[in-house]
Each structure stands twice: as C-alpha cells, then as structure tokens.
A and B are shown apart, each in its own frame.
Chain A
Amino acid sequence: MQPRRILKQLQLGLALASAPAAQAHAHASEQSLVLLLPTDIYTGAGVAAVAATVVLLALLPAGAMARLYRPIPLTRLSLKALKPFTSLAAFALLALLVWAGLTGPRDPLSNPLPLFVWTVYWIGFITLQATLGDLWAYLNPWTGPFWLARKLFRPWSYARLPPELGHTLGIIAFLGFAYLLLADPAPSDPDRLARSVATYWLFTFALTLIYGHRWLQRAEGFGLMARAYARLAIFGRWKGKLHAGLPGWQVLHKRPFPLGPSLLIVILLATGSFDGLNETFWWLGLININPLEFPGRSAVVWQSTLGLLASNAALIAVMAVTIALGLRLIGARTGIAQGLRLFAPSILPIALGYHIAHYLPSFLVDGQYALVALSDPFLTGADYLGLGQFYVTTGFFNTTATVRVIFLSQAGAVVAGHILAVMLAHAIAVRDFGTTRGAALSQAPLAAFMIAYTLFGLWLLASPRF
C-alpha cells in the first residue's frame, strides 16, 4: 500500500470514528406505536393460554388425543405423474428470475428476483408448504431437469453418498441459507442473489447427476426444510390416499424423521428466533452497537454469524436436556437421539408461528412491491392486474388501530403455534407412553420450555427494535 493511500485510509477511519455530523434519521416506526400498546397484558394472556392448554391436556382421557389427530381420508387421486412437468416449469421460472436478477433493475424492490426469493418464496411459499402440504414435491427445481437428463441420456450408475454423512450436508446447506438471510451484507442485491441462486442450483444439479436422488434427499437444504414443514400441513398422503387433519396428524401417523431432519427442525426454530432477536436493543447492546445509528449489516457480519451459530447450539442443547429430563421422569429407556426424533417435530408449529409473526409486517409492505412486479413482470409497462397509479403504502404502521391489529395477529400466530406444539407433544407422548399421566409427566419439562418460549416470543414482538 502506498503511504499516501494509507494516510487516506487512516483519515477516513478517523472521520468515520468521529463522524461529527452523524444524524439519526431512524424515524419513529411501527415499533414506537407498539411500545404504547398494553403489550404486558397481551403477553400475560398469551402465556396463560399456553399454560392452560398444558393443564387441560393432563386432564384429558388418553383416547381423546388419538381421536383429535385422526385424519379424514379425501381421495385416491394423485397428481404424482405431473411432478416432472411442474418441476420443469418451476425450473424455467427460476431461470427467468435469475436472468431478471442479472439484467433487471438494480433496486431490490423493483427487481423480481429478490422479491420472489424473500417475499414470495421465503415468507409466502414456506407458510403454504407448512399449512397446505408438500407443494415442494411439485415445485422442486431439480427433480424435473434430473428426470429429463435421465430420459435424454442412457442410464448411468450413481456414486455412493456415504451413509455416515446422514443429513449433515443438507443441514450445512440450510445454515448457508440462514447466513445469507441473517449475516450477509447484501442479501437482496439482485446481482449477488442471482449469482448465489445460479451457483447453488448448478452445484446441486451436478451433484445430483453424480449421486442421484439421494443427494436431493439428504444433502439439499431447501428440500430438507420443505419436507420438515410439510409434516405440519393439514393435507398429506397416507396409506395411498390424500388425507386432511389437525396440524401435526402427519407427525403422529408417519414414521418419525431420522435424526438429521429432526435436528433441522430445532435449527429452523433457533434460526427464526435469532432473526428477530438480532433486531432488538438487547442484542445490539450485547454487541455494543448504538441502535439509533446502526452501522449497517456489513459492520456486524461476524457478530451475526456467531449469534446464529450460538442460538442454534443453545436451542439444540436446551431441547436435548428438556427431552432427556422428561424421559428420565418416567423412567423410559429411550435415548436422547431417539427422544429428539420423537419430539423435535412437536416444535414445528412454534417455528411456523414465529415465521408468520416475524415476517407479517415486511410481507404487508414487500407484498405490495411483489404485486406491482407481478402486474408488470417483464417491465414492458404492462398493468395486467389493473393497479393503475399504485403507490406502495406503509400507512398501516402509522395508526394505533392498525398497529394493534398487526401486533395481535403476530402474537396470535406465536400463541397458536405454542398451543399446537404443546398439544402435539402431548399426543406423541400419549401414543408412545400409553397413559395420560405418563405422558403429562414426560412432557412436563418440554411443556415448561414451551411456556417460557411463548414469553420469549411475545417479548421479542413487544421489545424495542430498530
């Protein structure tokens, strides 16, 4: 480095450090109205509702849970044959979006790619996948191209993916996505996002050609997440028929996940929780950042990465201890790994509740941008949806009445998620331990954890954030 350049850098460093005219334009937002709401009362009511569910369950006859979770058969009709074609269509859409990311507008709220990835897919699709059913099986962008490759070329033999790897690679892939979401400096930059999506697609496709479907089953993170969430959905195939039932019926009736996907469920919740915690004044205080002059994501990449990993490690440890303690209470000989396999899916509703609660405000805003992009997808000046002069609004963050509705919807999602989780955990225990008493006892530590987590989730929503 040239001496003059060093001097310049030094001057800049000093300038940034002293920044005599720094401003704070972090304006009063939705959260400032939330701080005026009686959130203590709402929080108390939410925690009480979850606690009351725990008590109620302990009093229910054992057969009640089985009846509650019995699904209703709907139809034998299967659309399975369509999968390669819907997948190819999904792949074509993805390719188009990547192209838009590389060549379209640089503004992430006008470019279709970031809007699709962060609003349509991550907020919208994941919610539908977890409530309606395994849509990913139809929209997976690799299965169709892989099917086509096998049709076009002579069958080849696949390399062996070491079974001892389990789902480790898939979990690492998901954590990579979580890093992009929470720690990367510019996750919405259309160009960077397009390159990331294209690279991951090509990498996965190449390895699927080498290792076959096993790669998609065990080493591909998005599929792993999608299949985990699909277990929670109302609709699912079972015994050759499409069934519908209370969220969680599939967890009870289908073979438990192996350890890898079970751990991923805990990781989903931990990641979702950190994505919320990292916006609180509490966290910013911990990493010594003034929330009123937040220096930008690029200044906290390491802190966010470590926070993400620490949250995951902590929640896995808490879950393992809680489950093990419950099993000990009833003298069950089930090991910790088996316990996690049985009970980790019970926290899926909590993860989904957080997901909905956390992203509701941004969905309300970015959904409008996505609508605008959908109305004019190829930037030709079209207005397919007839929006006319459409100004994106955030006015609903400005009035107490609308902020209250938004807050209560978020709190409702968190509380409903915990109630469903408590019920599901109890139903699993009744199934495996026979009696209501045994089930309640084995669930006591997990139920206590879920009540505490309700408090944590509602605190997150109500606490000062930037």
Chain B
Amino acid sequence: MTNQTRRTALKTLAAGTAAATLPLWARYTHAQSAAPIKIGFQQHVTGIGAAYGRWYGRTTQAAATLINETGGINGRPVEIVAEDDGTDPKRGAEVVEKFATQHNCDVGFGTLFSHVVIGSAPRAGELKLPYFVVSEGHHVASGMLNRYTLQPGITDVKSQVQAMAPYVHASLGKKVTMIFPDFAFGHDHRDYFSAAMEAQGGEILAKIAIPPTETSFTKYFPKIPRDTEVLYHVMVGPAVLTFVKELGEFFGPSAPAIFGFIDSLEAVDITSPGLEFLEGSYFWEGNPRYAQADQSEHDAFYRSRVGVDANGASVTDPTDVSTYAHMFGCWETLHVIKAGMEAANYQGPDDRGALIEAVEAMTDMPESREHPQGAKVFNGKTHQVFGHQYISRVEGGRLNVVHTTSIEDTLYPDEVDYTTQPL
C-alpha cells in the first residue's frame, strides 16, 4: 500500500467519525448509516503471488479512493480491509473467516491465485459471505464453487484461450505446436486451445510438455516439427527468460510465428537484454500494457488514477512494470460491487443475499470509467463475466494491439446454474 493511499484510506476512516465537519463527507450524512462499507481484500502480500499482490493492492486502493471521492456506496464510505493470505489456500480460508466473523466485512474480494480461491470459496459459501474473486480461473464458471462466489471483473482462462484460435488460424498459421509447463496451468492451455484450434479446422502438430523444474530447454526444441507454422508457448516461472533466449538462439531468424500468453512476461520489461527475439512475436493481453494510438479516455483515466504511465510502468519508476494485463480486474470488480450494492439497496450483512441476486441480474457492462478494459457481458447463471481479449505484436520493443476479439469469440455453453442453489 502506498503512502498516498494509506493516508487516503485513513482520511476515509477519520471522516467516518467526523462526517459533519468535512464538506466532502457531508454527502454521506443523508445515508441511514455513515459507517463504512467494509470490503475484505484477500491480498497475496507474501508468498509466490506477492508481485501480483502489490499491484492488485495499488489498483484496489485507487478504485476505493475514486469510489469514496464520488460519494461512496449508498452514501457510505468504502473501507478496504486488507489481509495477507500468504498465497496459501489454507490461510485463504482463515482470512475469509476473519472477514466474516472478526472484521465484520460486508463482502470478500480480490483473490487471484486459483488454489487460494478453491481453498477459500467453500468457507465463503458456508458463511454466506459474498466472495468476489479476480482470478481468471475457470473454477467459477465450471460449477466447482458455490452461489456466493462470483467473478464479475475478469474473464476466465477458458474463454481467453479459445478466443485466440480464430485469429491464430486466420492470420498466423494452421499448423500449431504447443509448448507448455507440465502441470494444471499448462494442461488447461493445451486442452482449451487444441479444442478451439481444431474447431477452426487447424491442426496441433505436437504438444510438448516441459517439467516444471526444468531450467534449460534446448533439448526440447528439436521435438518441434519442421512444418510448424505457429509456436504456442505459455512458460512461466524463473526460467521463462532463459526459455525465450534459448528459443531465439535455436531458431535464429527463421522462426515460425510465435504466440504466447503475457502471463509469461507479466511485470517484465520486454526490452530486457536477451528478449530481442520476442520482436515480431504475438501475445495475448488481458488489457494492453502500452497505451495504444486509439486509447480510450477511460483507459487514460484508469492509468492516471492507479499511477501507471503509457508504457504500463509506475509513474514514479519507469522500470517498475505493472501487472497490467490482470490488475484492471480489481478496479472493475469493485465497481461491480458498488453497482450491485446500489441496485440491492444494500444496508448491511442481512442484505448479502440480495446483493448476490442483484449481481446475478447484471448483463451488459458498457466500456466506461468503471470498465476501462472494455465492454463486458455478465452471465448470472455461471457467475462469470465475458469480455474482449487483445492480441498484441511486439514491434520496436513495445506491444501493439493487432486484434481485438469479439465477446462472442469468448463464449462457451454454460456448465452450471448457480441461481438454482439456495441463498
């Protein structure tokens, strides 16, 4: 949390007790209660998610500050109660419990890592605490979780991956070789993308699984079939730059088209030495890191509030690259919570069920300050939002968007109807 936001958050608290004396807070006095709406923020402050957690925290504080400046929720200020879950599923469940029983939070929010979501959601369901995750996992829409868990601010990996296939097939090539880490994350990409590519009439020539602890990749590259037109990679972890470098050394100038997910290089400066090979390659981006020529006023506004420059880095340190492709989810989810609470005329924990129903009733979310990443459609049955995806090409050391998918490209048949579960 930054000094600035900490101070702002504090002012929020102080204002709660001194509402009448401050003009800004005078607007809250018409509310039935001036007590803050407490949003429990399950943050990856420590553990393997910490790099993401820092940016999720910064975005969340920026959104909360904005909401408070513009009248709060139902005339009440918002207070973010951040608890560290250590990126640890067991602690995640404990944190959810603390939100409900110790901190008297109205909702829980903000979890990224799938295993923490999966470990925490059952407890949220038992405690009937609305739990808004920002995880992009398919676990919400797959039906694995419960009525109290929703993902209204970020799309899921299944829709992201399948939406890539039409563009890859039409513009990059029909014969694809996939390289992925040999565990669940990589397997999701393998399964979703190969199905979507085959549905387009394309062909997966080879699926090369790399053990998660591997740190040198040259021995795997000869397995790439010679007639490969597109190489699809989703490597992650500390060896990812080594992977990119070795791939570049292996292919030299005669490489096939290369397509990857920005997860590999999220928060990494793509102009780092050794990454020159990325020039000309393609990436999925959840939200374009570099401000584009046709940047919307909403994206500009969002960047300025979070303190991110036109290259996706912190305004105070151009080398501090943000997790731009994902962190908008916190901003948008907080605004969905606000909209849901206002629609349900939320007054307190007794209205939690009404809040769930209000969010389930949402459908279109137009591109706006509240949704700077783009327009979205929420599916109340599966508790999952769907939206545009971006494909960018590395050109001159920056990522330029070359294709924006339609929302229809990201849709798939419902796998669950949470509204049939009791509240």
What residues make up the interface of A, taking CB atoms closer than 8 Å to B?
Answer: 8, 12, 15-16, 19-29, 31-33, 35-36, 105-110, 185-186, 188-189, 281, 284-285, 290-299, 372, 375-376, 379-381, 383, 387-396, 398-400, 402, 464-466
Contacts and interface: CB of A to CB of B under 8 A. Distances in A.
B318 interface: yes
Nearest first, the 8 closest Cβ-Cβ pairs linking A and B are A296-B88, A395-B319, A395-B320, A22-B184, A21-B138, A24-B185, A298-B90, A31-B238
B265 interface: yes
Contacts of B52: 25, 27
A393 B316 contact: yes
Interface in B60-116: 81-84, 86-91, 98, 103, 112-116
B89 A295 contact: yes
Interface of B: 1-4, 6-7, 10-11, 14, 43, 45-49, 51-52, 54, 57-58, 81-84, 86-91, 98, 103, 112-116, 118-119, 122, 135-139, 142, 144, 156-158, 181, 183-186, 188, 212-213, 215, 236-242, 245, 263-269, 272-274, 307, 313-321, 323, 326
Contacts of A387: 3
A32 B45 contact: no
Given A29-B238, A466-B237, A299 B321 contact: no
A109 to B, nearest CB: 6
Given A24-B237, A32-B237, A379-B6, 13 more contacts: A8-B122, A12-B119, A12-B122, A27-B267, A32-B240, A32-B241, A107-B57, A294-B48, A380-B10, A381-B14, A390-B3, A391-B2, A391-B315
Contact of B236 (A16, A26, A372): A26
Most buried by A among B113, B138, B326: B113
Given A185-B86, A296-B86, A466-B237, A398 B269 contact: yes
Given A35-B242, A389-B316, A392-B2, A28 B264 contact: yes
B215 A25 contact: no
A29 B314 contact: no
A292 B212 contact: yes
A356 to B, nearest CB: 21
A381 B11 contact: yes
B157 A23 contact: yes
B263 A24 contact: yes
A19 B239 contact: no
Contact of B142 (A16, A20, A391): A20
27 contacts: A12-B119, A19-B118, A20-B142, A21-B138, A21-B139, A21-B156, A22-B188, A23-B135, A25-B236, A25-B266, A27-B52, A28-B268, A36-B245, A36-B273, A106-B83, A108-B45, A108-B84, A110-B6, A290-B212, A294-B47, A296-B47, A296-B116, A381-B14, A391-B314, A393-B314, A394-B54, A398-B319
A185 B241 contact: no
Given A284-B213, A391-B316, A393-B320, A106 B86 contact: no
Contacts of A19: 114-115, 118, 139, 184
B10 A188 contact: no
A106 B49 CA distance: 18
B142 A21 contact: yes
A115 B245 CA distance: 38
Contacts of A393: 314, 316-317, 319-320
A106 B138 contact: no
Nearest to B234: A24
Contacts of B116: 296
A290 B47 CA distance: 14
A108 B240 contact: no
Contacts of A27: 51-52, 236, 263, 265-268, 323
B47 A297 contact: yes
Contact of B90 (A293, A296, A465): A296
B236 A292 contact: yes
Contacts of A383: 3, 7
A21 B47 contact: no
Most buried by B among A188, A387, A394: A394
A30 to B, nearest CB: 9
B239 A32 contact: yes
Given A295-B89, A299-B90, A466-B48, A391 B58 contact: yes
Contacts of B314: 391, 393, 395
B265 A28 contact: yes
Nearest to A380: B10
A464 B239 contact: yes
Contact of A293 (B136, B184, B273): B184
Contacts of B242: 32, 35-36
Contacts of A109: 1, 45
Given A23-B137, A464-B238, A107 B272 contact: no
Nearest to B43: A107
Most buried by B among A25, A26, A109: A25
Contacts of A390: 2-4, 316
Contacts of B318: 395
A185 B87 CA distance: 11
A359 B54 CA distance: 19
Contacts of B215: 35, 281, 464
A12 B119 CA distance: 8
B87 to A, nearest CB: 6
B119 A400 contact: no
Given A299-B90, A391-B2, A466-B238, A398 B272 contact: yes
A189 to B, nearest CB: 7
A384 to B, nearest CB: 11
Contacts of B186: 24
Contact of B88 (A292, A298, A388, A394): A298
A88 B43 CA distance: 36
Contact of A296 (B58, B89, B268, B274): B89
B185 A23 contact: yes
A109 B307 CA distance: 19
A372 B183 contact: no
A22 B267 CA distance: 20
Nearest to A118: B46
Nearest to B93: A12
A285 B316 contact: no
A15 B144 contact: yes
Nearest to B126: A8
B7 A376 contact: yes
Nearest to B57: A107
Nearest to B84: A108
A285 B212 CA distance: 10
B183 A24 contact: yes
Given A21-B188, A109-B1, A16 B118 contact: yes
Contacts of B103: 106
Contacts of B54: 392, 394
A391 B238 contact: no
Nearest to A8: B122
B63 to A, nearest CB: 16
A188 B45 CA distance: 10
Given A293-B184, A465-B238, A185 B91 contact: yes
Contact of B113 (A25, A281, A380, A388): A25
Contacts of B82: 105-107, 110
B238 A25 contact: no
Contacts of A299: 88-90
B319 A396 contact: yes
B115 A22 contact: yes
Given A35-B239, A375-B3, A24 B181 contact: yes
